[in-house]
């Protein structure tokens, strides 16, 4: 027989940081609301949530890295929305932000919920922030929480 390790979706007694981009805040605020709602419904005290605002998606990795190094948080959720425009700027921002966030999680051993929307249109972003496609802030919070609880068992 084999042993299975699975994370229980219990947010009690954890300290979480949410890093949210101000750019496209009409979308990002919905992601933040979804993440906070998910965490509190799973037992987290709102006093154990720290919300940090940054200018945009490109700044997410640096601030997440500093939070991870501080050693005060069991997990971090990065939330932002980049919407494709008429220039290659979209590709650079999305690529570098995603690489930076992945690197931080691996190097700092802190579970990081990835909630950076990379959308072709405003409609897609709104759909992913609580409309037709669910709320990706909720999904980022859930992934981070489950990862915390899995790592505790390893």
Catalytic annotation, residues: 89
Q: Are 147 and 140 in contact (CB under 8 A)?
A: no
How far apart CA 115 and CA 119 sit, in angstroms, is 12
Q: What angle do CA 34, 24, 35 make, to 5 degrees?
A: 15
Q: At which residue do the structure tokens 């990862």 appear?
A: 147
Angle of the 60-70 helix axis to the 89-108 helix axis, nearest 10 = 10
- Of 117, 116, 111, 107, nearest to 144 (Cα)? 111
- Of 73, 86, 90, nearest to 19 (Cα)? 73
Q: Helix or strand or coil: residue 75?
A: strand
């Amino acid at each position: 027989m084999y042993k299975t390790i699975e994370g229980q979706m219990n947010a009690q007694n954890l300290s979480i940081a949410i890093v949210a981009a101000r750019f496209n805040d009409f979308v990002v605020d919905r992601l933040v609301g979804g993440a906070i709602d998910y965490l509190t419904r799973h037992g987290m005290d709102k006093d154990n949530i720290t919300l940090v605002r940054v200018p945009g998606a490109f700044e997410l990795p640096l601030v997440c890295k500093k939070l991870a190094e501080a050693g005060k948080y069991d997990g971090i959720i990065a939330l932002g929305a980049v919407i494709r425009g008429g220039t290659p700027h979209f590709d650079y921002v999305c690529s570098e932000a995603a690489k930076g966030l992945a690197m931080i999680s691996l190097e700092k051993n802190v579970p990081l919920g990835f909630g950076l929307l990379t959308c072709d249109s405003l409609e897609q972003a709104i759909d992913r922030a609580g409309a037709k496609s669910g709320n990706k802030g909720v999904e980022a919070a859930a992934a981070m929480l489950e990862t915390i609880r899995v790592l505790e068992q390893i």
